[in-house]
Chain A
């Protein structure tokens, strides 16, 4: 993030924005639920928003972490997501687990869920609503900018952690820049 805003001495801008982010996101989800009146439609909308964020955030991550090379397999993708992306944008650590036998699908488990820190999803919505669906969209969008089509969905989530399943579909050959294939 570029430091444009000046905060008073002794206040870490990143710590303030974390809470503001969680509250803003909560307001967004609540508003979407009121407007759409259908938790599944809310999931779709959150996913779309996340996707658009991911498309823009991929370049930010690459510009500020020059050590990230082009990923050539899913283990590298998992590494970048868990060790760099989640840490720099959400401020939490993440573990990679549950690889499938073909090594193209894994679970990304966030140790805490900064989006749902203050959230109690009502029981009648808990079945359908994927509160942190925006994360899935963001991962999908960002990987698309890196020329990979993936499928992402939330396996389980609560305020202590969230588990996101990422599955590789294909390389987007038509958008791979020259010199990288």
Chain B
């Protein structure tokens, strides 16, 4: 999949729609002996790898289960007693331990926060511009992905995040998403403007549009 995320941000900067390509959330399970050579810490109420990448367990991976028992809010039922995950891992007597790690995911809440941050960044970028009438952020390139943004005249932002090889036809894709928004969200009388879009037909249309775009990009590469 070349396109990983699609976001629509309303005029006030809040996320009203997001689409994800099916990310394979396969975890990595491994049996460890004492001492554990991966440094773990609690970040955002999740036990997270902060140092010592190895065997496909990367930074920002989180512990999802210990000895097959799922971890909930940094705690796990161990020997019939609820214990903190970090305590269990420090105890030599508990080893060998089988720990399951999950690749980093992004929750809906985090998406909402990131969207409003992007909205502010966009505004700052437009104001910093040395030229008059800057269009704000249109493309943002990193080592691993590209982000494309299109802001309609009315102020709604359409954001597509995709792989680096994505380049041709993204402008057209963004405009097509805008058209779908005008058709299936705004023309739906039961959709209230500026609120999150929960329309099945809009979902379907976006999905088939992106599938078509992906096929087209595969052919042109």
Instruction: Spell out A's residues near B (CB within 8 Å).
Output: 2, 55-60, 62-64, 66, 68-70, 145-147, 175-180
Contact = CB atoms under 8 A, between A and B. Distances in A.
B68 interface: no
B154 A62 contact: yes
Contacts of B153: 62, 68-70, 146, 177, 180
Interface string B148-180: 000111111000000000000000000100110
A177 B11 contact: yes
A102 B178 CA distance: 36
A63 B179 contact: yes
Contacts of A2: 183-184
A145 to B, nearest CB: 5
B196 interface: no
Given A145-B154, A178-B122, A180-B133, A66 B175 contact: yes
Nearest to B122: A178
A26 to B, nearest CB: 20
10 contacts: A59-B182, A62-B153, A62-B154, A63-B175, A63-B182, A69-B153, A146-B153, A177-B151, A179-B129, A180-B153
A179 B133 contact: yes
Given A59-B152, A62-B154, A179 B134 contact: yes
B135 interface: yes
B156 A59 contact: yes
> When A and B form their complex, which 3 residue pairs have the shortest distance between CB atoms, in order from nearest?
A177-B155, A179-B126, A178-B126
A163 B29 CA distance: 74
Contacts of B127: 178
Contact of B182 (A60, A68, A179): A60
Contact of B186 (A60, A69, A177): A60
A58 B11 CA distance: 14
Contacts of A64: 179, 182
A40 B178 CA distance: 38
B154 A60 contact: no
Contacts of A59: 152, 154, 156, 178, 181-182, 186
Contact of B181 (A55, A57, A63, A69): A63
Given A177-B154, A179-B135, 12 more contacts: A57-B186, A59-B152, A59-B156, A60-B183, A60-B186, A68-B153, A69-B153, A177-B153, A178-B122, A178-B123, A178-B127, A179-B136
Contacts of B184: 2
Contacts of A147: 155
Contacts of B144: none
B36 interface: no
Given A68-B153, A178-B136, A56 B122 contact: no
A176 B152 CA distance: 11
B22 interface: no
